[in-house]
Amino acid sequence: MSEQPRRRALGFLERWLVFAGAVVVWEIVTRISDSVFFPPPSKIVQFCAELWFVAEPTQLFLADTVYEDILPSLARALGGWLITAVVGISLGLALGRSRIAYEYLNPLVTFLRSVPPPALIPVFMVAFGIGAQMQIATIVFGALWPVLLNSVDGARSVDRVKTDTARSFRISRTEWIRMVVFPAALPKIFAGLRTSLAISLILMVMSELVSSNHGIGYRIQLSQNTFSFDTMWAWLVLLGALGYLLNNALLALERRMLGWQPKREAAPATAKAGG
């Protein structure tokens, strides 16, 4: 009866043991060295609390900076990522199912994705000015490729028997895309989406470091310039936590949407059971 919770607790411990160990080591080393550039984690956490939380119920106990820096930054990162997802998946499926389109566009795609996205920040600054537009353009340009290429790959993975089956049953074009190509490509698409999410966060910070008057990247830059290293570290911790949480949220969505896949342990057993 208590087997399930116990195993889960053990798993949780195992997963966080190394993390906790690293934090302890970090704490000890920084306390011994006593450097102003590297504050101990306990102090960083304290700064985090001071930075982001206030005793103000009308603001849901969150400081102004949460509304003025964190949420706008997140909105840009996630907004850019969503645009990436829509464009990347639809374009990728189309390219994956059309050999001609793929052959025409492949050199262009390869060329464009070889350009490091941060290098384009100046270009987008000229094109869109300083602000959300330029940041979202940077994010979309950098995060598009993993989704696009994985969608192409996924769409191509539809085997010939399925193509024949769909054709022999005269499956309509929309049903074919919606119920055959898309689900077949979905495992690959999710792999692409996860990579893109990480890239979106990186480019969000990057574009804010270069030019912005608010946002997480801007705050990191500002605290560095004003020698408030504790604050700087607090923002870095926030970025790590955000990345972790967003990735887990996406994994949960993936598990839900790919629930039809055979469980990993069960797969070989059913494959062998011929009768």
Partner 1 sequence: MTTMLEVSDLGHTYGSGDTAYTAISDLSFTVETGELTCIVGPSGCGKSTLLRAIAGLHTPTGGTVRLKGETVAGVPEDLAVVFQDYSRSLFPWLTVRDNVEFPLRSRGVSADDRASRAAEALEWVGLGKAGKKYPWQLSGGMQQRVSIARALACRPSLLLMDEPFASVDAQTRFELEDLLLRVRRELNATVLLVTHDIDESVYLGDRVLVLSKPPATVVAELPVDLPPVRDQITTRESDAFVSLRSEVARLLHGKEPATRSAPQVTSEAAGTGDQGVHVADGGTPKGQRTVTAPKNRRNGAGGKGRKKHMKTKKKRGVTVQRPR
* Residue 191 near partner 1 by CB under 8 A: no
Q: How near is the Cβ of 53 to partner 1 at its closest, in Å?
A: 44
Q: How far apart are alpha carbons 65 and 27 in whole angstroms?
A: 27
* Residue 275 near partner 1 by CB under 8 A: yes
Which span sits near partner 1 by CB under 8 A: 10-18, 69-77, 169-177, 232-240? 169-177
Please identify which residue in 19, 260, 264, 265 interacts with partner 1, judged by CB under 8 A: 260
* Residue 170 near partner 1 by CB under 8 A: yes
* Residue 59 near partner 1 by CB under 8 A: no
Which span sits near partner 1 by CB under 8 A: 31-39, 66-74, 164-172, 242-250? 164-172
* Residue 183 near partner 1 by CB under 8 A: yes
Summarize as ranges the residues that interact with partner 1 (CB under 8 A). Answer: 159, 161-162, 164-165, 167-172, 175, 179-180, 183-184, 186, 260-262, 266-267, 270, 273-275
